[in-house]
Structure 1
Amino acid sequence: AIVSSKDLIDKYTTNMWILISSTWHDEIEKQLKELGIKNIKTYSLNEYVNNTYIKNGTSESYKRYFIEEVNEFEKFYNMLEDLDSRQVFKNLIAYRISGNLDCLKESSFSQYFHPKVHPVKGDVIIDGGGFTGDTVKQFNNYLHSCCKIHSFVPSSNNYAQMVSFIEVENLLNVTAVQAGLGEKIGKFCMNPIKDGNNPGYSISTERSEEIMVISLDEYVEK
């Protein structure tokens, strides 16, 4: 139920705590305190990360990995030509090591649509990891479907949803390919990531789902 600020003050602040669980917890807490409400508990995303990402050792593991491969990280950093990309890269490393979400800054532009690097009408777009059609929808909306999209979806479940999405939306400019992209043709076992926070998949030796992987060069030649 939605409660007005007046009812919140008159009826709910004397005998219960107000729990804030929102990305905008700082702003909400500030507004409540300005109303004179003090019995506030905040459960922020940073606390969630501290309870999972850091305590399960992921942060420490990444820190060791960074130290071991620091030369490779530096090579990649030097390959980035613009300052924005370099800053994003540094922010990601800082987040991975510290688990502090404040290291991640909101981008000034939408994903895939950089002011200087973005698709244009007539492009042939390779959508590597098309999931169930979310990126296809973004590209078509941006280009008014004036493009050709080849979307690679290795998971059989996601591929079925992608095909259904294409049929329902009558997307004549989209080709769904049930395969992953890699260095060369091969078959691999793929499993869902089971950490509860990641909807993706990982290549595994355990036989969960066998997928086909092809190279982009070989696909284009066909």
Structure 2
Amino acid sequence: MKRVNGIYEENLKALFEKKLIKNNYNFNKIPFILFGAGNLGLRTLTGLKKIGIKPVAFGDNDEKKMDTSINGIEVFSKEKIMSKYGDNILIVLTIWKGSTGKEKRVSTLIKGLQEFGFKHVVDITKLYNDYPDTFLPYYCIGNPENVYSSEDKILECYKLFDDVISKKQYYEQVKWRISHDNWEEFVDVDYNTYFQRDLYELNENDIIYDCGAFDGDTIRALLHKKLCFKKIISFEPDKNNFDKLKKFVEKQESYIQKKIQMFEYAVGNKEEILLFDATGDADSKVSNNGDSKVKSITIDNFAKENPQNIPTIIKMDIEGFEREALLGSEIIIKQQKPILAICVYHKQSDLWEIPLLINKISDGYKFYLRHHVGDCWDTVLYAIPKERRKIKEKQVCVK
């Protein structure tokens, strides 16, 4: 086992010993297709227009989009692309979703296009990395140069992880942030999120802070698995999402409703009013370009004002605002050491910055990394106090 751990550390160090050679595809000189006429395709087209580059067409598998036009760019099936442009046309895959299922993975989609006959198929990072000022950052896709400049922190963070699974996933994620050439490592990773029985067990005394409650998806998962808990405190600042959350909770049996409290707040590092991009879906987030305003609180202040509801578990999926929320939780983390389940995929550097921050706040944790949805979506850091790192016999709680 020690040798296995050492291999990942050696491989990680090797990433920094020799910079990978950047491939420039000359998108400004050769014709190419954007394959995927959804949100990512539209985002990419908008960026290309800013720099004066125009794809020859969109490609898509959705029959409803065939032979239509999006912002002046025609949408074709792969059959029509082949007949019109031939097998040498460059295909840029503009599909990268946090969806479960192998068939939706980037590596699967690329392989399918190659098997169809296209000789040159690349993922979206090849285009984005050529024009970082226009396209980056985009979730955990960032300029690879930023990874190289964070070498010391990345190597320091690696030492925090407690098991081989975490060490391997951390290495693969760092490598992906540099080269984006190991998509195949993120195919078989559809697991249950936040409540990993191989890491910790919930109990009837747990008070869970659900930060980024969305429409109640985390609560839904808890109830579906009949997991134990005493109370859930939900925070969701998007009004439309909050209304969905309320409707979901109101449909539950009365004894469940009594165990759930909901607050239409964001969580951050101070109490203030923030600009917010309220999309009414899972992508809602704090943003300087937000079209609405929301109230932000700190977990420390909330817990102080509600001493009967001190959290034993804190889950955060708040679209890149996790670091700020953790800074607003320092007292609770230091004094109470709740289990932390924190998303680290919204920003490139969250993968190492967030574990290092938590370890700086308190040295009483063991750290684990689990990747719950393929292609680097839903990557969660688990910081577990040493006394909670044990597995009990399976429990089923009904009430």
Shorter-chain TM range is 0.5 to 0.7
CA RMSD in angstroms comes to 3.5
Give the conservation status (yes or no) of the 8 Å contact 1:129–1:153. yes
Summarize the Cα distance change of 1:149–1:158 in structure 2 as closer, same or farther, 3 Å threshold. Answer: same
* One-letter amino acid matched to 2:195: F
Question: How far apart are 1:212 and its partner, in Å?
Answer: 1.7
Give the conservation status (yes or no) of the 8 Å contact 1:92–1:104. no
Instruction: State the partner residue of 1:56.
Output: 128
In 2, the alpha carbon distance for the partners of 1:67 and 1:55 equals 20
User: Which residue, out of 136, 142, 150, partners 2:233?
Assistant: 150
For the pair 1:41 / 2:116, whether they are aligned, the reply is: yes
For the pair 1:134 / 2:217, whether they are aligned, the reply is: yes
Summarize the Cα distance change of 1:135–1:167 in structure 2 as closer, same or farther, 3 Å threshold. Answer: same
For the pair 1:78 / 2:78, whether they are aligned, the reply is: no
Give the conservation status (yes or no) of the 8 Å contact 1:125–1:149. yes
Whichever structure has more helix as a proportion of its residues is 1
For the pair 1:110 / 2:153, whether they are aligned, the reply is: no
Secondary structure of 2:103 counterpart = coil
In 1, the alpha carbon distance for the partners of 2:165 and 2:228 equals 29
4+ long deviations beyond 3 Å: 23-26, 58-62, 105-109, 143-146
Instruction: State the partner residue of 1:91.
Output: 172
Instruction: State the partner residue of 1:69.
Output: 150
Give the conservation status (yes or no) of the 8 Å contact 2:142–2:177. no
| CA deviation vs aligned residue, 1:118-138 (integer Å, no higher than 9, x gap) | 322331111111111111111
Question: How far apart are 1:89 and its partner, in Å?
Answer: 1.8
Structure 1 unmatched ranges of 5 or more: 1-16, 31-39
The residue correspondences of 1:176-195 to structure 2 (distance < 5 A) are 176-191=262-277
Secondary structure of 2:173 counterpart = helix
Secondary structure of 1:131 counterpart = coil
In 2, the alpha carbon distance for the partners of 1:108 and 1:202 equals 24
In 2, the alpha carbon distance for the partners of 1:167 and 1:119 equals 24
- Name the count of aligned residue pairs: 186
In 2, the alpha carbon distance for the partners of 1:199 and 1:98 equals 28
Secondary structure of 1:127 counterpart = strand
Give the conservation status (yes or no) of the 8 Å contact 2:202–2:228. no
Question: How far apart are 1:219 and its partner, in Å?
Answer: 0.9
In 2, the alpha carbon distance for the partners of 1:108 and 1:162 equals 24
* One-letter amino acid matched to 1:161: K
Secondary structure of 1:132 counterpart = coil
Question: How far apart are 1:146 and its partner, in Å?
Answer: 4.3
| CA deviation vs aligned residue, 1:140-161 (integer Å, no higher than 9, x gap) | 2334564311111121121111
Give the conservation status (yes or no) of the 8 Å contact 2:203–2:228. no
Instruction: State the partner residue of 2:260.
Output: 174
Question: How far apart are 1:95 and its partner, in Å?
Answer: 2.5
For the pair 1:204 / 2:204, whether they are aligned, the reply is: no
Mean alpha-carbon deviation: is it higher for 123-132 or for 65-74?
Answer: 65-74
Summarize the Cα distance change of 1:144–1:104 in structure 2 as closer, same or farther, 3 Å threshold. Answer: closer
TM-score (norm 1): 0.68
* One-letter amino acid matched to 2:199: K
| CA deviation vs aligned residue, 1:84-105 (integer Å, no higher than 9, x gap) | 2222222222233333421325
Give the conservation status (yes or no) of the 8 Å contact 2:202–2:227. no
Question: How far apart are 1:73 and its partner, in Å?
Answer: 2.2
Give the conservation status (yes or no) of the 8 Å contact 1:128–1:181. yes
For the pair 1:119 / 2:202, whether they are aligned, the reply is: yes
